[in-house]
Amino acid sequence: MPFDEREIRIDLMCGRRGDGHWHGTLGLTVDARALRRLGLHPDQPASVVDGPSPPAWWHAAGERYAARYGRTR
């Protein structure tokens, strides 16, 4: 995992809906320094989309490849 356990926080928020059913939501917080190290901080140029998204077939091919050969990590 690219993050140390001290750089990430996961919060569970529970409550009841208006109809009385329970529901839960996860909140994920990552330290800005960890994002910066990976080039994902909003202030870094690498975190901004700079071109078109790959076509749908490209994503489907990636899913097939992952299913066929398994994940490496």
Q: Tens digit of pLDDT for each residue in 40-68?
A: 877 777 767 778 888 889 888 988 888 88
Is 44 within 8 Å of 36 (Cβ atoms)?
A: yes
pLDDT exceeds cutoff 60 at 72: no
Backbone angles phi, psi at 70, to 5 degrees: 75, 165
The whole-number pLDDT of residue 73 equals: 53
Q: How far is CA 18 from CA 12, 22, 26, 27, in A?
A: 19, 9, 19, 21
If you count them, how many residues does the chain have? Answer: 73
Would you list the domain boundaries of the chain? Answer: 8-69
- With contact defined as beta carbons under 8 Å apart, do 16 and 22 qualify? yes
